[in-house]
């Protein structure tokens, strides 16, 4: 007896929607520069996302400005006041 459906899916269980909902893909490449900067930063830092948080924020801001995702306060996305203070002190050190 098989407990799963076609292709291993579970029958009878309702799918769970994504937490933030659906947002359009960037088919027009409106935020490609920001995305590439972030990905390059990840590669050069050994995939340590903490080193690239400022670029992650820049990418999300671009997506909001181009209506590729709903506008939200950055604190809801993990960029609170503590993050802004850390970023400004790091920028001053460099």
- pLDDT of 9-44, one tens digit each? 666 677 666 666 566 788 999 999 999 999 999 999
SS3 letters across 16-57: CCCCCCCCCCCCCCCCHHHHHHHHHHHHHCCCCHHHHHHHHH
Domain-by-domain residue ranges, the chain? 30-93
pLDDT of residue 14: 75
For residues 91 and 28, the model is more confident at 28
CA distances 74 to 18, 45, 77, Å, are 19, 24, 5
pLDDT band at 80 (very low <50, low <70, confident <90, very high): confident
């Amino acid at each position: 007896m098989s407990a799963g459906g076609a292709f291993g899916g579970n029958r009878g269980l309702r799918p769970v929607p994504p937490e933030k909902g659906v947002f359009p893909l960037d088919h027009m490449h409106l935020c490609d520069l920001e995305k590439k900067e972030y990905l390059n930063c990840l590669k050069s830092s050994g995939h340590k996302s903490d080193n690239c948080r400022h670029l992650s924020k820049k990418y999300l801001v671009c997506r909001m400005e181009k209506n590729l995702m709903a506008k939200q306060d950055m604190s809801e996305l993990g960029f609170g006041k503590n993050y802004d203070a850390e970023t400004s002190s790091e920028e001053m050190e460099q």
